Structure 1
Amino acid sequence: MKPVVQELVELLQVEQLEHNLFRGVSGDIGSPRVFGGQVLGQALMAAARTVDPARRVHSLHAYFLRPGDKNARIVYDVDRIRDGGSFTTRRVVAIQHGQPIFNFAASFHVKEEGASHASAMPAVPGPDGLASEWELRQAWLHKVPEALRGVLHAETAIEIRPVQPLDAFNPPPAAPSNDAWFRSADQLPDDPLLHQAMLAYSSDFGLLRPALMPHGLSFYKGNVQVVSLDHAMWFHDDFRMDDWLLYATESPWAGGARGFSRGQIYTQRGRLIASVAQEGLMRPVRSSGRKQ
């Protein structure tokens, strides 16, 4: 396994401190605070460690309460709310410096048979031949502060190939939809929980981008402050994170300094395996960086 992928696998693991207490370390993807996807993945890991492995997570709902400190460990306090005949519910609070930074609830379900249907995958080019986000980044890396270049230049554990590459610094106004293929940069162990936690981690990459697109806003341009406020996710079917997955995202609404985006995740063969929704802060800023 590539070292960068092994590092992410280890990052998503949590250390059990007590019956319902777990602890995780933090990584650095270049953001000023702990990456929200990391806390999602670790919280899911902590919750699942208290659940019968025969039950798989089918939904999670989370709120980001405070910025996470990348230099401090995170404690996950799991509340075993309910163990029912076919559903198990867990609530998790992530804590740093004595304060909650994240609130999370997840539901787990035994496998059952039933009626099924799913929306069709969008007709987009496949991942073969598309440039990766890392490759595209090399063209503008010199424009970011020197302190970030090392992190942004480093190889990534999640390979992302945008279907419609965007100008990171001067994006023209565009329709509020964005598609990208993604997968783990190396083969992973046959652990369904790890694949689910890594999908939760990856689902926070670029989800708010469609809400910015109609307005020509960009985090790198510095004309907007972007922060995830909440995150919801539904797991529909089995999948592997080391196979290509399509993340089809759109934003039906933005207003009041907030933007709402939703996404659907498909296998390369067109099977819908997860749905995601998120609202985030989209606060305009002046060139000085101050609030308007």
Structure 2
Amino acid sequence: MAAPGAADDGVLRGQAALDGLVALLDLERIEENIFRGVSPDDSPVRVFGGQVAGQALVAAGRTVPPERRVHSLHAYFIRGGDPSVPIVYEVDRIRDGRSFTTRRVVAVQHGKAIFALSASFQVDEPGIGHADPMPEVPAPESLPTQAERITPELRERFGAWADRPRPIDVRYVSEPPWLSRETGPRDAHNQVWMRADGTLDGDHMLHVCVLAYASDMTLLDAVLARHGVYWGTDKVIGASLDHAMWFHRPFRADEWILYDCLSPSASGGRGLATGRFFTRDGQLVATVVQEGLVRLLD
């Protein structure tokens, strides 16, 4: 029998899965500027990069007045995280200015830094405004779910990855890379609709941290799409190296957001990917840039 909240395929989705993600981001405060987070029991060998980014941003945000919203973060993945032990987040209160607040966070395991993040927060201010338009894409409801995309054969191929809880509902606009790889290379764009698969409360930092978590999903797929290969199906290994996000406008992470990703360059065993988040009504709400390790093995 499937677990409560699980779909017919046994994968946990919907509000139950989302509540698990919210709990994951709810760090324990162990000192004034020190927090502790854990990983899910079903984690892979390394901690998911989006988890560390989201938890680090939570730690930073808990030292900042709520009226100051995060507008940017810049981070480096230093070492692979160990999901079997807690992660300690140490926050350095770099500066509290009249308009901006700056925080630096270091995530530590086994006495060593595994991740470092700098984040800047700002009071709301009026100013000039413009934004690129959203690409024309099909509505998310018209697209297959991941459960519909992942056949029994693919579940067997991907193993434990296919059975992990899905707190984020992802609908591919472009053909999923695990399918399109069979027809060879395509253009650099990788487009998905995504949303938190349930309802989140109104805390704006929670929505931002959930989007930071989700931003590490599918981004490097744009790199692999140029070469017709994919994780787990070809001899390719990879890892996130750095990650930067800019938050332009308010949004809700539990409403549909288009993640439009492309890869302008790959060289030296590294691939660069950029992503733009658009709300359903066409508002550009965030921009992401990431470089990842991408090695094709003989």
TM bucket normalised to smaller: over 0.9
Which residues in structure 2 correspond to 1:1-292 (within 5 Å)? 2-27=15-40, 31-139=44-152, 140-145=154-159, 148=160, 152-168=162-178, 170-171=181-182, 172-286=184-298
Measured against aligned partners, the alpha-carbon deviations of 1:56-100 in whole angstroms (never above 9, x if no partner) come to 000000000000001110000000000001000000000001000
**Count, aligned residues:** 282
Distance 1:73 1:279, change over 3 A: same
Paired amino acid for 2:245: M
Q: Which consecutive residues of structure 2, in runs of 5 or more, have no partner in the other structure?
A: 1-13
1:15·1:24 contact (CA, 8 Å) conserved in 2?
yes
Secondary structure in 1 aligned to 2:117?
strand
Distance 1:144 1:18, change over 3 A: same
Distance 1:30 1:49, change over 3 A: closer
2:177·2:221 contact (CA, 8 Å) conserved in 1?
no
1:12·1:45 contact (CA, 8 Å) conserved in 2?
yes
1:86·1:110 contact (CA, 8 Å) conserved in 2?
yes
Q: 2:195, 2:144 → 1: CA distance?
A: 14
Moved segments of 4+, more than 4 Å: none
Measured against aligned partners, the alpha-carbon deviations of 1:87-145 in whole angstroms (never above 9, x if no partner) come to 00000000001000001000000000000000000011110120122321234112234
Deviation at 1:28, TM superposition (A): 5.7
Distance 1:136 1:283, change over 3 A: same
Q: Which consecutive residues of structure 1, in runs of 5 or more, have no partner in the other structure?
A: 287-292
Q: 1:216, 1:229 → 2: CA distance?
A: 22
Q: 1:144, 1:12 → 2: CA distance?
A: 26
TM-score by length of 2: 0.91
Secondary structure in 2 aligned to 1:128?
helix
Measured against aligned partners, the alpha-carbon deviations of 1:30-73 in whole angstroms (never above 9, x if no partner) come to 53200000001100000010001100000000000000001110
Residue range with higher mean Cα deviation, 84-93 or 26-35: 26-35
Distance 1:136 1:236, change over 3 A: same
Q: 2:42, 2:215 → 1: CA distance?
A: 15
Q: 1:230, 1:109 → 2: CA distance?
A: 23
TM-score by length of 1: 0.93
2:73·2:244 contact (CA, 8 Å) conserved in 1?
yes
1:30·1:152 contact (CA, 8 Å) conserved in 2?
no
Report % sequence identity.
Answer: 48
